Amino acid sequence: MNEQYNNNDLSHKNTDTINITQRALEELLEVKKKNNIPDDYGLRIGIKGGGCSGFAYTLGFDGKLYPTDHVLYFGDLKVYIDMKSYLYLPGATLDYKNNSSGTGFIFDNPNVKITCGCGSAIKK
């Protein structure tokens, strides 16, 4: 499949794919740099079962691109999403928070109806 989307314009929300805030993008590129992750690796975003509400989000850099992956570009960052996870992520936004409540990456997914503190969700 390997559909490719270019989401360089971060000024609007794209409801067909995922969105990454500028703050999250900067943090992801910094993590990649600090950990000497090769330039050709992409950020793999996914959903897996097992959260207390049914799903948990996954993030990690990956050097392998599968034929059924969706590929998105956010400036210098490639994002890989497997076909199953892609069904649950349209319109979702990945952000990075660093405040008194905590630090880390957070998904805001309009497709969920139930969430919990572990970042899990159930699709509407």
- For 86-122, what is each residue's pLDDT tens digit? 988 988 999 999 887 788 999 888 876 655 555 444 3
Minimal CA–CA distance to 29: which of 76, 70, 62?
76
Tallying the residues shown for the chain, one arrives at 124
**Could you tell me the end-to-end alpha-carbon distance of the chain, in angstroms, rounded to an integer?**
26
Average pLDDT along the chain? 81
**Confidence at residue 122, expressed as pLDDT on a 0 to 100 scale:** 38
3-state secondary structure of 98: strand
The domains located in the chain, with CATH, are 4-123 (2.60.300.12)
pLDDT class for 11, splitting at 50, 70, 90?
very low
Answer yes or no: is pLDDT of 17 > 70: yes
H helix intervals, the chain:
22-34, 83-86
Determine the residue type at 116.
Answer: C
Of 123 and 74, which is predicted with more confidence? 74
